[in-house]
Amino acid sequence: MTTPVRSFRPPIFPILLALLMAAITLAPATMAQDAPKREGIATGFDSIWTGANIPTQEATGLERIMLSDDKILVVLGVVLIIWFGIIGFLLRNDRRIGQLERELENHRSDF
């Protein structure tokens, strides 16, 4: 006898992605202020990394943002990717739990 009432579900994932995109587009204004590049401690093994050609070109666009503040934003990006992955997984779980609840309702109404 239950009519499946589908409540409005806000599209959380797109909203989060939109927020992220907005942050990336707004970031140049706040962050890419050309912080003076400090030299790190040059250690012996830096140069052994294969494929590690020291950049000769001027960094532009997205790179300028990501390389500011000693590349801490790269770490932020990595943490955000993991966080978004886990959110995505949990949201899918949520949808499956919703399906299970509806199936349970159908079973109940059979008796």
Interface residues with other proteins (CB under 8 A) are 39-43, 45-46, 48-59, 63, 66-67, 69-72, 74-75, 77-79, 81-82, 85-86, 89, 93, 96-97, 100, 103-104, 107
In angstroms, what is the minimal distance from the CB of 29 to other proteins? 20
Measured from the CB atom, the residue of 22 and 62 that comes closer to other proteins is 62
Measured from the CB atom, the residue of 8 and 51 that comes closer to other proteins is 51
Measured from the CB atom, the residue of 8 and 37 that comes closer to other proteins is 37
Q: Are 32 and 68 in contact (CB under 8 A)?
A: yes
Give the phi and the psi of residue 71 in degrees, each rounded to 5: 65, 25
